[in-house]
Structure 1
Amino acid sequence: MHLVPAERADRRAIDGHRVCDAVAAIGEPDHVRAWAERFSLLSDPGRLALLVALRQTGPLAVSDLAIATGMNGPAVSQALRLLRAAGVVAGEKDGRVVRYRIIDPITADLLRHCVCGSG
């Protein structure tokens, strides 16, 4: 089956079957965009450190995350705001303390492959 979009069908392919396989692998532009946004969240060292810490330990408060990552409290709060808005983390209130945890299973699975602390 020919999967090359009509607007690109006039171009001469060297390995046409591989081009079709590549088009199928890339899939829908919205799906690619969603993955790019997910990787963008992980591309910031501070956010990545927060997520690695949360994946390893489970729920942590902002102050504890600041200690663990070496970030200041406002920077941790700002990063968590972005991660929360993206649906990656959620906070659970326990009295006056809010503990954050990862709720996005795809991000958690990606982090499983992150070996930031080992060398």
Structure 2
Amino acid sequence: MHLVPADRAGRRIIDDHRVCDAIAAVGDSGDVARWAGRFAVLSDPNRLALLLAIHAAAPISVTDLSVATGMNDAAVSQALRLLRTGGLVTGERTGRVIRYRLADPVIHSLLHLVRPPHEAP
């Protein structure tokens, strides 16, 4: 029971090795919060659609993302602003056009699980 914090040491435990395994799996609360933030971004259907489109067709512009997802340019730009702030995508400017690609390798791997590139619907 070496992993049980002192403030929980007095609680009833049935399987101490399972409690230690569970505490180790939860890990650092900061890491849990960062993962929750990633999942919060993925929980919005429009942002997820954008990430899937970027995953399959990067680098891709706002206008092209708008056509691909059925969203208007303003909505795409707003969602991309959140995705950039969260470090999930990055933009490359060529003249007046900014094209986006994934910046987070973990999200890239997760998107492979959601829908591998060029998978038929």
TM class, shorter-chain normalised? over 0.9
Equivalent-residue separation in structure 2 for 1:85 and 1:8 (angstroms): 37
2:8 equivalent to 1:13? no
- Structure 1 residue 118: Cα displacement: 4.9
Query: Which digits, 9 at most, give the CA deviation of each residue in 1:25-81, with x for residues without a partner?
Result: 110000100000011110000000000011111111001001000111111000000
Q: What's 2:90 paired with?
A: 90
| Inter-partner Cα distance in structure 2 for 1:77 and 1:12 | 52
> Which aligned runs of 4 or more in structure 1 are off by greater than 3 angstroms?
116-119
Tell me the TM-score normalized by structure 2: 0.93
Name the TM-score, length of structure 1 as normaliser: 0.95
Two-structure CA RMSD over aligned residues (Å): 1.4
Deviations 1:12-35, CA, capped at 9 Å, x for gaps: 111111011000011000010000
What is the SS of the residue equivalent to 1:113? Answer: helix
Q: Structure 1 stretches of 5 or more lacking a match?
A: none
Partner of 1:109: 109
Distance (whole Å) between structure 2 residues aligned to residue 87 and residue 102 of structure 1: 9
Report the AA paired with residue 57 of structure 1.
A
- The alignment status of 1:42 with 2:49, answered yes or no, reads no
Deviation of 1:2 after TM superposition, in Å, equals: 1.4
Structure 2 unaligned blocks of 5 or more: none
Using the TM superposition, name which of 1-10 and 31-40 deviates more: 1-10
